[in-house]
Amino acid sequence: MSQVQGNGGGSGARVELRELVRVFGRTRALDGFSLEVEPGELVALLGPSGCGKTTALRALAGFELVDHGQVLVDGHDVVRVSPQDRDMGMVFQSYSLFPNMSAVHNVGFGLRMRGVRATARRDKAHELLELVGLHEHAEKYPHQLSGGQQQRVALARALAIEPRVLLLDEPLSALDAKVRTGLRDQIRSLQQRLAITTVFVTHDQEEALSMADRVCVMREGRGEQTATPAELYSRPTSAFVAHFVGVSSRVPVRRDGATVGLWGAAVAVRNPEMADSDVDAVLRPEDVVIVADPAGQATVVHKSFLGAITRVTVTVESAEVRVDVRSDVARDLNHGDRVALSVVARDVLVSPRDERVAIEED
């Protein structure tokens, strides 16, 4: 085991991406993107297609050259270091197992490239396969394994080299929902147990919020907000983040100093630095309550049953507002019913009205 290079898999490296720029033709895939990942932390890069999250991961892995910026691992700039010398394990979106090798040989491949003897290599590969629960499939070839099993072997293969950083490029996106949830928990538990610094790219917000210590929401090659999942959901710093993470509704309001008027009440503005007066209030479904009221200002247009709660969509003036209501209460609300709305959040995020179009286009 002592022959295995890397840092021992118990203390991940500190990773810092500084002002990365990568231009493809006229597109700036990375436009001054920066990120810091602490040792042993799992950070998810989340964003819509084309936001630059995969480019950022590939720049970190060394598969993408950057036009400007630094990639620091434990303080050393690795921009000019080739991928094979970066000591980073990577799991890819598409199945990347070598078809000509059995599972155990796939897992031992990285060790073989590091000159580890055959016996030690085999022992280590079996140990890793046991860790991902595939010990009994060690001699099988990739085509004899299911998609979920292949990705678990790929994870074991990436972990076998005891990498300084583990990179996951949408490893669950090709799997069905049930396998995805199981593997998600397994990856997180392994990552925590081995304390490997991990960067995880996904476009699935549920995946990002449930697995990551922190999530970086990306937009047009930049980091829009990096925060813990709870903070990102409850205190988004921009309408884009509020729109992309969780469900939100935009209601046109008139700004009055540090408050906005919402359905007869003055509600504090969370981001008072915003100077515009014509703004939208960005509301989460749990920020609003509705009460059946024939004289109410809103009309029920849609109901989605989600188990304990039902998401009720109402129209008020020109806006559509989604509100979470206990399912037993929502049972009495029907399409076309009039309801009264009120805000229960202690403050609301506001965003310029013209930003709505840009976000909807994203």
Partner 1 sequence: MVALTSAAAVVSAPRRHRLRVWRGIILALAAAYFLIPLYAGLRFSFQDDAGHWSLYALRAIPSQVGFTGAFWLSIKLAFTTLVGTLVLMVPTTIYIHLHLPRVRRLLEFVTVLPIVIPPIVLILGVLRAAPIWLKASPYLLSLMYVILTMPFVYRSLDAGISAIDLKTLVEASRSLGANGPQTLWRVILPNLRAGILSASVLTLALVLGEFTMASLDLWTTLPVWIYQFQQTDGHIATMVSMLSLIGTWVLITVMVSLDRSESRRSRRKAEVA
Binding site for partner 1 (CB under 8 A): 61, 63, 82-90, 92, 94-100, 102, 109-110, 113-114, 138-141, 144, 154, 157-158, 161, 167
Render the burial of 54-89: b for 16+ CB within 10 Å, e for the rest: bbbbbbbbbbbebeebebbbeeeebeeeeeeebbbb
SS (H, E, C) 138-162: CCCCHHHCCHHHHHHHHHHHHHHCC
Distance CA 81, CA 31 (A): 22
Name the residue among 302, 262, 299, 265 with its Cα closest to residue 282: 262
The CA distances from residue 335 to 147, 302, 322, 330, 342, in Å, are 43, 6, 14, 11, 19
With H, G, I as helix, E, B as strand and everything else as coil, classify residue 204: coil
Name the residue among 270, 268, 272, 211 with its Cα closest to residue 241: 270
Angle at 164 between CA 52 and CA 49, to 5 degrees: 15
Minimum Å distance from CB 73 to partner 1?
14
Minimum Å distance from CB 207 to partner 1?
21
Distance CA 11, CA 9 (A): 6
Which CB sits closer to partner 1, 52 or 110?
A: 110
Which CB sits closer to partner 1, 143 or 335?
A: 143
Distance CA 105, CA 98 (A): 9
Distance CA 208, CA 52 (A): 16
Which CB sits closer to partner 1, 51 or 145?
A: 145
Minimum Å distance from CB 101 to partner 1?
8
Minimum Å distance from CB 85 to partner 1?
8
Minimum Å distance from CB 146 to partner 1?
14
Minimum Å distance from CB 80 to partner 1?
15
Which CB sits closer to partner 1, 150 or 205?
A: 150
Minimum Å distance from CB 114 to partner 1?
6
Of all helices (H) and strands (E), which one includes residue 219?
Answer: strand 214-219
List the 197-202 sheet strands across, edge first.
88-91, 165-169, 197-202, 42-46, 214-219, 222-227
The CA distances from residue 259 to 215, 286, 319, 329, 346, in Å, are 29, 20, 20, 31, 11
Distance CA 14, CA 5 (A): 18
Which CB sits closer to partner 1, 62 or 229?
A: 62
Q: Which residues contact 286 (CB under 8 A, 6 or more apart)?
A: 324, 344
Which CB sits closer to partner 1, 83 or 182?
A: 83
Minimum Å distance from CB 6 to partner 1?
10
Minimum Å distance from CB 40 to partner 1?
20
Distance CA 304, CA 313 (A): 8
Which CB sits closer to partner 1, 99 or 257?
A: 99
Which CB sits closer to partner 1, 12 or 236?
A: 12
Which CB sits closer to partner 1, 57 or 216?
A: 57
